[in-house]
Amino acid sequence: MGYAFLTANCFVCHCIFTSNPVRVPTFKDKNGVKQPVCSRCIERINSMRKEKGLTPFVIPADAYNSVNENELI
C-alpha cells in the first residue's frame, strides 16, 4: 500500500504547497480547468465570504494530507 500527495502552485497566491489530490479545494480557471488552492488562501476566501454573509466553502479535514493510493481516480 502506498500514499500520494499533490505538489502544486496555489491558483491564488502561486506558493508551492502539498495536498490530497482528491480533496483539495479547487477553482476553475478561465479555460475550465480545476486549479488547487492552498489552505491559507482558502481560509482567507472563507473569511471574506463570511464577512459578506455568504456560506464558506467546505474544506475536507484531509484536504492537505496525503491520500491512500487506492482512492486515486
Give the model's pLDDT for residue 29.
97
The series of mean pLDDT values per 10 residues for the chain, 73 residues long, is 94 98 96 98 98 97 94 83
Q: Do residues 54 and 36 lie in contact, with contact meaning Cβ atoms separated by under 8 Å?
A: no
Question: What residues does 4 pair with on adjacent strands?
Answer: 67
Q: Which residues does residue 26 pair with via DSSP β-bridges, in sequence order? A: 36
